[in-house]
Structure 1
Amino acid sequence: MSTKFGLGRGLSALIPGAPAPVTPPTPSDHAVLTVPTERIHANPLQPRQTFDEMELAQLAASIRSHGILQPLIVTVRADGAYELVAGERRLRASRLAGLATVPIIVRAGAPDDREKLELALIENIQRADLNPIERALAYQQLQREFGLTQEEVAARVGVSRSGVAHALRLLALPADMQDALRSGALSEGHAKLLAGMEDAAEQRAWFDRILEQRLPVAAVAAGHRAPRSPANASASSHGDPNLRAKELELQRALGVRVAITPQGSGGKVVLTYADPEELHGIIRAMTRGR
């Protein structure tokens, strides 16, 4: 007698409008089958870019102890093999755990490539372990592939429109900042603040300071929003592009606002810091290598 599995909460979100399972199932509805893992092929349209090896190992250990609690969703290919619609992480972990078979639900009908892509995107977005860049790229792909507005993307994946908008802005960050966000070196809160900075030099300076000094989000927000001093304002209006370039160079090196004021054959350089930690950062930068 075959074992029946609960569908789990995620299935109704993955396949809107799916009928509730009944007992006993018939071959035409959501009956759960058990098939060899080698008969299941990955979705070639899988948008997920990386699978964390440590997390897969942890999931594999859980599967060894408790089995697979939610069946994989598949379609049947022309050659009789199965192709994943949802559940690649579970399939990878099952193979890692040494399982010979896994439970599946065969989705009625043969979804076209666009539908399979949309289902895979939505399943991935609804996972809690996506990094912010992966999530933003999935939103972007939903927009481009299906011509969806931000409001429509938000409705499909169950988040607010502002959440989608904030995520998409992260994709405007330079590549190294996106990489830091992917790896966890940069938090999503920091990244949102950086994405809102219009001045590229200021953005770069804050990014460097965040990594070097491990500044909390609140400190970055307070420092970035602090009004400019009169010295800074007057210096920025000197109109000399060479001096402005030097100001930006110093800002990148020191991580704070810099104002150069020419006075005759000399002048002065004003460094503006928001708190003692910024002052310590200036001192460390200026004495580095001594």
Structure 2
Amino acid sequence: MPDRPAPKRIKSMDELLMAVEPGSQATNIKGGVVHLKFSQVDPYPKHPFRLYSGERLDDMVASISNYGILTPMIARTKDNGRYEMLAGHNRMNAGRLAGLDEGDFVIKENLSDEEAWMYVIETNVMQRSFADMLSSEKAAVLALRHSKMFSQGKRNDIIAELKMLENPQYIKENGTSALIGQKLTSREKVADEYGLSKNTVARLLRVDKLTAPLKKRVDSEEFGIYPAVALSYIAEAEQQDIEKVLSKNEFKVDMKKAEMLRSYSESSKLNEKTAYQILSGEVNKKPKSTTPPPVKIKHKVYSKYFPADTKASEIERIVDEALEWYFSSKVKEETA
């Protein structure tokens, strides 16, 4: 395994911010923070939040150009000797745009995937307004809060750590304070925390079940939350088939199509071919009839040839004979 900096085991936030490990192999350790090349740090896989763009990104680049990256980023160690970003994707992106190729990191070791995920989520919740998040981003936040592995105690500790990194004067508030909040044990409490209805929370939790490409389509409003909920009950492999069809065509996904896709999935009939037939509308098209449409002959037409007292059956017989003669004569002309 490649050599990497060995940061000091941190026992408290005071040590994190103040301690220096004598003789450490890490480069430029200051206050428990390790200096790393950006090339050593990989982005968090399936990071659910979009990077800053536009004016917000421009402001961050300008600030970093003038003052550097003021708040250390957070990464965890990987088995291959590299690091995985937990908090700081936007800082690293803006730093690169500002001409930097390295920065300060707090390194986390022996984190579970669940704990790493909490760092990713909580950092972005602190930095962004929940109301301004995209649907898939809100879904990721709510899914964490609602998951069985969610720990309010761990969340409180992570929030406190993140706040102390931003502001060393921050004093951890009491666990019952409004900032930290009470333990969330139900969908109702999650809804209350974010000012949402229980039904909205339920729908957003379903959006989190979509594949990443379909989430992007929800975020860009190619289709709404209700069709998204229907699609979320479809298996991942089948969602990938749906995405293949959508990526090759400009089909719209409405509620009727989404429910039909789900129905086909439940009956094990959904694949790329049937997804195409549903999304194109081909399934609902009536087959062309091989029977000619009924024809009603107007009175002014047949009255020229038949007396008024002629029975309908007699008219039909004569018309049939006349048509038979007409078409047989036509065939003879074409073959002559």
Q: TM-score, normalised by structure 1?
A: 0.45
**Rg (Cα) greater in structure:** 2
Q: TM-score, normalised by structure 2?
A: 0.40
As a proportion of its length, which structure holds more strand? 1
Q: Taking CA–CA contacts closer than 8 Å with sequence separation of 6 or more, which of the two structures ends up with the larger relative contact order?
A: 1
